[in-house]
Structure 1
Amino acid sequence: MSRVCELSGKSGLVGNRVSHAKNRTKVRLLPNLQEKKFYAPGLGKFVKFRLSTSALRTVNKIGIEAYCVKEGIKLG
């Protein structure tokens, strides 16, 4: 399974870890993904998503259906 947020589309980045001596080492910077089930009243059932914690905070604040409308995502 890819490490991409299913709602916001947030994915990993590639960067360098730089030591004090300026030695550079490649590193993958991955998003903090969590699996979470939400109840969708419009569907009348639970929907499971793998989403980043920043998207999770937004969904908790405005609701899953409002978030999907804002991002243009179709539930179901």
Structure 2
Amino acid sequence: MSRVCKITGKKPLVGNNVSHAHNKNKRRQLPNLQNKRIFVSELNRFVRIRISTRALKTINRKGLLTYLA
């Protein structure tokens, strides 16, 4: 399963772990994705979606369809 938010498009970032000796190792910074069941009142049903916590916070404030529009 890909680690991409279906709403915001957030995906893993690539960077380096840098030690005190300045050795560099590649690392991935993964987005905080959650599998959620969101009730859409306009459709009168639940929708399963994998979204980031930032998108979840915005959906709680504005609603899913207004956020997508």
Identify the TM-score tier after normalising by the shorter chain: over 0.9
SS in 2 for 1:43: coil
Residue 45 of structure 2: aligned partner: 45
Q: Percent identity?
A: 52
1:14-61 Cα distance to aligned partner (Å, 9 max, x none) = 110101111100001110000111111121110011001111111111
RMSD (CA atoms): 0.8
Runs of 4+ in 1 over 3 A off after TM superposition: none
Consecutive unaligned residues in structure 1, runs of 5 or more: 70-76
| Aligned residue pairs, count | 69
Q: TM-score, normalised by structure 2?
A: 0.93
Residue 30 of structure 2: aligned partner: 30
Q: TM-score, normalised by structure 1?
A: 0.86
SS in 2 for 1:4: coil
Consecutive unaligned residues in structure 2, runs of 5 or more: none
